[in-house]
């Protein structure tokens, strides 16, 4: 393996191999060939990372650091990320297959997330309470919740790390980042920037490994106080069960099967672009992919024609090339799942207007695909495929559109395309989703909360309130009277 780039774990301020020496290889999705190796953590490594995170909470170098100083460290981290955005993006593209145009720009943009929370670090305030008892001064303060475990998937690593690490560090917590064992190279490289930024040893550790040796002992560790998890519902169920061992406060972002509603009064070119962005952007590997397109029947055929025409110019190819629009999928398993689901959809009577099969070339390439569905039972409308597959279904009335949109156990993203402002307000209010985009799609900001409900999880990332999720409120009572405390056995 000496001929491959190798990435180490980052534990307690040092780069290290795993204690049992386990090393895995990572395949380049564009070629299907091994391109790098990385160290894997075992339970002893997990314990070392969590123990360091617990220790540093009582270390004056972090415990007594002013909130303003913590903010300055986050500002420095933001600068380093922006300086290294192109290199980190290239690394992520090679490891996961995402377009370099997206990984580099997204990595650069997450610097704004760290800046946002850097600015909030010294604005975490308590309150003096107007208490209903005499001679009592009562106030609250927000204290760091403690040791945080942040579990991050491979599909948007720098973004999903920022939404967890930024507020956690601003609040004064310590963090163990668990990178996916699929394409972990960018996060292991990112650890170098954390180290350069000057955070004390133990404040941040970055590890990876399989479920049995890493994820399970990490999420059930007795010294973990909070778990921030992004991934799939099946894995999340195990995380929730594991958290019963430590009673860690848990937030879950679990993806979805997001609807995009297109009404007959919409700008159809805009709607076509929204559907293309929501399904073919990031090669469909997005938790908010708008993969349930619900279109008013009167404009369905016209919209399909516009989507087909716009999609003729899509280039599927090398994710490092500037003119590529859709790159490979991260794993071969995604191709196999999509192919099987499309076969079932055909058997159910769905019509595939274009695409519908993997491309005959090296790597994990799937042709962008448009499926017209006769009813909501079609498999592609109900399964999160994590690939460039768009499914469209006709509706007749606004009420029907809302009912169809809400007929899913998920509830993360949603979209509405209409020129009718009253309808935009009315429909967006009734959609059961944590996010609703109107006449746009997939826009994000550090200022705007992000999260879902039901099988899409609970809790919110980004925004002002997220920082409070990494704190606990302490209430202090001070008796201001010089008189002795009253006899406790005399009720007043």
Specify the CATH number of the domain 6-254: 3.40.605.10
Choose, from 253, 372, 379, 384, the residue flagged as catalytic: 253
Q: Is the pLDDT of residue 2 over 60?
A: no
> Topology of domain 259-438, per CATH?
Aldehyde Dehydrogenase; Chain A, domain 2 (3.40.309)
Residues 110-144: pLDDT tens digits? 999 999 999 999 999 999 999 999 999 999 999 99
Q: Is the pLDDT of residue 1 over 80?
A: no
Residue pair 277/442 in contact by the 8 Å Cβ criterion: yes
Give catalytic status of residue 253 as yes or no.
yes
Residue pair 17/207 in contact by the 8 Å Cβ criterion: no
Locate the domains of the chain by residue range: 6-254, 259-438
Residues 370-396: pLDDT tens digits? 999 999 999 999 999 999 999 999 999
CA 88, 89, 90: angle at the middle one, nearest 5? 90
Mean pLDDT of the region 262-268:
98
Mean pLDDT of the region 191-214:
98
Q: Do domains 6-254 and 259-438 have the same CATH topology?
A: no
- Give the pTM: 0.96
Q: Between the CA of residue 106 and those of 102, 162, 317, 438, what are the distances in Å?
A: 6, 11, 20, 22
CA-CA distance, 15 to 137, in Å (whole number)?
48
The residues near 347 (Cβ < 8 Å, ≥ 6 apart) are none
Q: Is the pLDDT of residue 3 over 90?
A: no
Residues 302-354: pLDDT tens digits? 999 999 999 999 999 999 999 999 999 999 999 999 999 999 999 999 999 99
The residues near 145 (Cβ < 8 Å, ≥ 6 apart) are 171, 173, 225, 226, 249, 469, 470, 471, 472
Residues 451-475: pLDDT tens digits? 999 999 999 999 998 999 999 999 9
């Amino acid at each position: 393996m000496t001929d491959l780039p190798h990435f180490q774990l980052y534990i307690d301020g040092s780069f290290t191999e795993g204690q049992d020496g386990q090393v895995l290889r990572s395949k380049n999705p564009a070629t299907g060939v091994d391109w790098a190796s990385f160290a894997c953590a075992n339970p002893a490594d997990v314990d070392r990372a969590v123990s360091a995170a617990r220790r540093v909470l009582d270390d004056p170098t972090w415990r007594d650091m002013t909130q303003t100083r913590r903010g300055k460290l986050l500002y420095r981290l933001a600068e380093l990320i922006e300086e290294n955005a192109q290199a980190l993006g290239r690394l992520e593209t090679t490891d996961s297959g995402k377009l370099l145009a997206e990984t580099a720009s997204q990595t650069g943009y997450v610097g704004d997330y760290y800046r946002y929370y850097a600015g909030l670090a010294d604005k975490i305030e308590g309150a003096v309470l107007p208490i209903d008892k005499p001679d009592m001064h009562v106030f609250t303060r927000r204290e760091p919740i403690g040791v945080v475990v942040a579990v991050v998937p491979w599909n948007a690593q720098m973004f999903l790390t920022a939404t967890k690490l930024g507020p956690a560090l601003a609040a004064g917590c310590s963090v163990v980042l668990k990178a996916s064992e699929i394409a972990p190279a960018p996060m292991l490289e990112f650890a170098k920037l954390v180290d350069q930024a000057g955070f004390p040893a133990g404040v941040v550790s970055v590890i990876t490994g399989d479920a049995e040796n890493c994820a399970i002992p990490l999420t059930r560790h007795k010294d973990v106080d909070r778990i921030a998890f992004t991934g799939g519902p099946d894995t999340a169920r195990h995380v929730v069960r594991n958290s019963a061992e430590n009673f860690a406060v848990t937030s879950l972002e679990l993806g979805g099967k997001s609807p995009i509603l297109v009404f007959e009064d919409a700008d159809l070119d805009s709607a076509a672009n929204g559907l293309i962005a929501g399904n073919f952007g990031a090669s469909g590997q997005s938790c908010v992919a708008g993969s349930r397109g619900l279109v008013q029947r009167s404009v369905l055929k016209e919209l399909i024609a516009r989507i087909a025409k716009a999609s003729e110019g899509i280039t599927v190819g090398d994710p490092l090339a500037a003119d590529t629009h859709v790159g490979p999928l991260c794993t071969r398993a995604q191709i196999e799942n999509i192919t099987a689901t499309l076969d079932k959809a055909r058997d159910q009577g769905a019509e595939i207007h274009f695409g519908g099969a993997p491309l005959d070339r090296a790597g994990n390439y799937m042709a962008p695909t448009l499926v017209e569905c006769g009813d909501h039972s079609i498999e592609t409308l109900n399964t999160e495929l994590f690939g460039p597959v768009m499914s469209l279904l006709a509706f007749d009335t606004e009420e029907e559109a809302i009912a169809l949109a809400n007929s899913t156990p998920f509830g993360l993203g949603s979209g509405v395309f209409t020129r009718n402002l009253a309808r935009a307000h009315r429909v967006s209010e009734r959609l059961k989703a944590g996010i609703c985009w109107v006449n746009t799609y997939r826009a994000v900001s550090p200022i705007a909360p992000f999260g879902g409900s039901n099988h899409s999880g609970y809790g919110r990332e980004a925004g002002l309130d997220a920082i409070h999720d990494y704190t606990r409120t302490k209430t202090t009572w001070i008796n201001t009277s010089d008189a002795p405390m009253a006899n406790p056995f005399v009720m007043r």
